Amino acid sequence: MASNIPSEQWAQVVEKTGGPIVYKKIPVQKPGPDEVLINIKYSGVCHTDLHAMMGDWPLDTKLPLVGGHEGAGVVVALGSLVEDIQIGDYAGVKWINGTCLQCSFCQQADEPLCAKALMSGYTVDGTFQQYCIAKAAHVARIPKDCDLEAIAPILCAGITVYKGLKESGARPGQTVAIVGAGGGLGSLACQYAKAMGIEVIAIDSGEEKKAMTAKLGARHFVDFSTTKDLVGDVKALTEDGLGPHAAILVAVNEKPFQQATEYLRPRGVVVAIGLPAGAYLRAPVFESVIRMISIKGSYVGNRRDTAEAIEFFRRGLINAPYKRCGLSELQKVYDLMLEGKLAGRYVVDTSK
Ligand code: NAD
Ligand code: ZN
């Protein structure tokens, strides 16, 4: 390891499920043979980090846990087997920290489905610390002309919504509803959809999110908290009144997961991405069959999706606004998230 790597660092640590997070000094780890150590400069804050702290999902986290999985920084140490990434390179730690690279899913580039996948900020320590370890094979390669702060949200939110839009099968000129459009994933979904030539109906609540999604390229906005007929409103916003071709569900409540099949046009595709605690997908069998509705889940993206999502950013097609604060202020971001008051993404600076 290089000599200027400290032995201790600042981190936000979940010591028990349910929180609170504790800002404290912890040791810097050494990378294993197939791993790299990255000096995280900035990390995005995903709602997943809040689910992890609260213990929302039927999957245990490690404890104590350093959360975070949208970390952008500089490679500072390499394991003995690592050859294709250098000290000084820009790199990103994403949700999929490592996979076996051998199972049938890994062989087919479905790495998120690998049974041995390590998850940053969930089953291994993540990016709410100044020095983070990841498997070299899965580290996101970030070109040197990219801004490390602005690219951080791409490393989960960007990859995930780009993949979800591809999974929806929506083509240029077609319309998608983005449900939860004013949040972190949603704001990036508006931009990726626009860059892909897809028309957006944004669904979320409040004037701030309405104005933001319009700036990001959404043509229409439906406020779920004030509308009396969400299904009718969404359908009426499509030219032929038949509804959008797909719904990208990035909301954190169950209700929109039940509504989506009702406003989609025949052959419409529901892409479930958001992971509200304890929620179920329910749809009427009769209407879903005779209207040939598809319902699918979409889970982050593979290494190719990562490279493509980063390339959209590098080309200047993605510049969603984000707010910034110090790593020490992470709890403030969680509070805003819990209240649904956070428009877009927060990025934390690990030096503060
Ligand atoms: P966020 O809190 O930034 O955004 C959620 C948005 O949903 C908010 O703007 C909120 O107002 C909106 N919302 C709440 N109820 C709604 C409703 N009834 N209709 C429409 N919008 C509604 O969260 P985020 O960081 O964007 O994450 C969103 C979800 O996606 C989380 O559950 C997260 O865990 C999940 N996620 C999934 C994947 C995946 O691979 N599938 C990856 C990353 C995140
Ligand atoms: Zn995430």
The confidence score (pLDDT) of residue 122 equals 98
Question: What is the Cβ-side half-sphere exposure of residue 216, based on CA atoms within 13 angstroms?
Answer: 32
The confidence score (pLDDT) of residue 4 equals 87
Q: Classify residue 288 as exposed, middle or buried by CB count within 10 Å of its CB (0-12, 13-18, 19+).
A: middle
Q: Which CATH number fits domain 8-156+301-349: 3.90.180.10, 1.10.3720.10, 3.40.50.2300, 3.40.50.720?
A: 3.90.180.10
Ligand 1, from 200, 250, 333, 339: best to mutate by most atoms within 8 Å of Cβ?
Answer: 250
Distance 67 CA to ligand 2 centre (A): 10
The confidence score (pLDDT) of residue 3 equals 59
Q: Which CATH number fits domain 159-297: 2.60.40.1180, 1.20.58.2240, 3.40.50.720, 1.10.10.10?
A: 3.40.50.720
Q: Which residue has tokens 């010591």?
A: 15
Nearest atom within ligand 1 for CA of residue 179: 20
Ligand 1, from 185, 203, 220, 322: best to mutate by most atoms within 8 Å of Cβ?
Answer: 185
The three-class DSSP label of residue 61 is: coil
Ligand 1 binding residues, C-beta < 6 A? 46-48, 51, 156, 160, 179-180, 182-186, 203-205, 224, 250-253, 255-256, 273-276, 298-300, 337, 340, 342
Per-residue pLDDT of the chain (352 residues; tens, 9 = 90+): 555 899 999 999 999 999 899 999 999 999 999 999 999 999 999 999 999 999 999 999 999 999 999 999 999 999 999 999 999 999 999 999 999 999 999 999 999 999 999 999 999 999 999 999 999 999 999 999 999 999 999 999 999 999 999 999 999 999 999 999 999 999 999 999 999 999 999 999 999 999 999 999 999 999 999 999 999 999 999 999 999 999 999 999 999 999 999 999 999 999 999 999 999 999 999 999 999 999 999 999 999 999 999 999 999 999 988 999 999 999 999 999 999 889 999 999 999 9
Residues 6 or more apart whose Cβ sits within 8 Å of residue 240? none
The confidence score (pLDDT) of residue 249 equals 98
Distance 44 CA to ligand 1 centre (A): 14
Distance 242 CA to ligand 1 centre (A): 26
Domain boundaries of the chain, sorted by first residue: 8-156+301-349, 159-297
Work out the number of other CB atoms within 10 angstroms of the CB of residue 33: 10
The confidence score (pLDDT) of residue 49 equals 97
The confidence score (pLDDT) of residue 2 equals 57
The confidence score (pLDDT) of residue 1 equals 52
